[in-house]
């Protein structure tokens, strides 16, 4: 099983706890570079992996509302201090330090088999269903 698949599956298992904390967060700091840079390197890698799957999953499994919801929730778990994780992701994309991390994630997904990538996409789609 590929490194990227293991990584995303770990996100799936760990995110339930983080989401609970995210849902309870009533105040969020403003989006700024300092907050984004404080994310750990491993979190940035996971965010980049998720971003790449956000790009490739529609081609592998088609458009899916649950895919978008799963991505949004997992992204929120990695960026719990932000009201809008998508906005934080957009800001990250503007940062030079994030670009090599994103390129590495794209390369890993490209090197993985189509079936492994499809399984990751399905895990994201079914992510919330496993918690019930």
Model confidence pLDDT, tens digit, residues 65-124: 899 999 999 998 888 888 888 898 999 999 999 999 999 999 999 999 999 999 999 999
- CB within 8 A of 112, min separation 6: which ones? 2, 4, 5
Instruction: Dump the DSSP string for 11-79.
Output: HHHHHHHHHHHHHH----PPP-HHHHHTS-HHHHHHHHHHHHHHHHHHHHH---HHHHHHHHHHHHHHS
Give the whole-angstrom CA distance, residue 70 versus residue 36. Answer: 21
Whole-prediction pTM value?
0.70
Give the whole-angstrom CA distance, residue 74 versus residue 79. Answer: 9
Q: How far is CA 125 from the centre of its chain?
A: 12
Maximum CA extent, the chain: 41
Model confidence pLDDT, tens digit, residues 48-71: 999 999 999 999 999 888 999 999
Q: For position 37, what pLDDT does the model report?
A: 53
Give the whole-angstrom CA distance, residue 121 versus residue 35. Answer: 28
């Amino acid at each position: 099983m590929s490194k990227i698949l293991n990584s995303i599956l770990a996100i799936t298992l760990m995110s339930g706890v983080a989401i609970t904390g995210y849902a309870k967060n009533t105040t969020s700091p403003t989006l700024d570079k300092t907050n984004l840079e404080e994310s750990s390197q491993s979190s940035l890698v996971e965010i980049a992996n998720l971003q790449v799957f956000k790009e490739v999953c529609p081609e592998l499994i088609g458009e899916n509302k649950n895919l978008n919801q799963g991505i949004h929730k997992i992204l929120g778990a990695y960026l719990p201090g932000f009201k809008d994780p998508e906005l934080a992701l957009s800001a990250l994309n503007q940062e030079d330090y994030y670009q090599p991390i994103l390129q590495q994630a794209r390369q890993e997904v490209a090197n993985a088999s189509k079936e492994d990538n499809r399984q990751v996409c399905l895990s994201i789609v079914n992510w919330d269903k496993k918690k019930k």
